[in-house]
């Protein structure tokens, strides 16, 4: 079984107005890491980072200068996750943000029911 354990960092808490600024994942096959990973810092295209969010993740606007946009990394992410079960802690938050980003680009959204949320298991 192939799984991708993933996480996002964002400019704030509102998926409609804030943006994903970091996306990372680790591939597991039969519950063991394969060594394949995905990681990008993402330019929020002018969206300011809320002070509260920056206090959590430590990512500043200066850190994101010159980084790719979500549109520039989305195909790589979709290829990395293709056919895998997705796993995240507080997945509703992460999937909510990813789905808004996908929607902006005309990509199909992820069904929350197909994602394992480790927060629900804790």
The CATH number for 49's domain is 3.30.420.10
Distance between start and end Cα atoms, the chain: 22
Which tens digits make up the pLDDT trace of 8-57?
Answer: 999 999 999 999 999 999 999 999 999 999 999 999 999 999 999 999 99
DSSP state of 46: T
Nearest to 48 by CA among 72, 68, 19, 74: 19
> Whole-angstrom Cα distance, residue 32 to residue 52?
34
> Whole-angstrom Cα distance, residue 30 to residue 8?
23
Report the pLDDT value the prediction gives residue 36, as an integer from 0 to 100: 99
Report the pLDDT value the prediction gives residue 112, as an integer from 0 to 100: 83
* Structural domain harbouring 9: 2-121
Residue range 94-117: mean pLDDT, rounded:
95
Report the pLDDT value the prediction gives residue 87, as an integer from 0 to 100: 98
* Residue 61 reports pLDDT greater than 90: yes
Domains contained in the chain, number: 1
* Residue 103 reports pLDDT greater than 90: yes
Cross-strand bridge partners of residue 41? 22
H/E segment holding residue 91: helix 91-105
């Amino acid at each position: 079984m192939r799984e991708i354990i993933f996480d996002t960092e964002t400019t704030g808490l509102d998926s409609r107005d804030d943006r994903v600024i970091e996306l990372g994942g680790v591939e597991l096959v039969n519950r063991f890491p394969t060594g394949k990973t995905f990681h990008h810092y993402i330019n929020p295209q002018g969206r300011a980072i809320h002070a509260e969010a920056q206090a959590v993740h430590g990512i500043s606007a200066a850190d994101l200068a010159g980084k790719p946009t979500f549109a520039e990394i989305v195909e790589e992410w979709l290829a990395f996750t293709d056919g895998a079960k997705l796993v995240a802690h507080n997945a509703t938050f992460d999937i909510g943000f990813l789905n808004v980003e996908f929607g902006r680009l005309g990509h199909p959204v992820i069904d929350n029911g197909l994602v394992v949320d480790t927060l629900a298991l804790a």
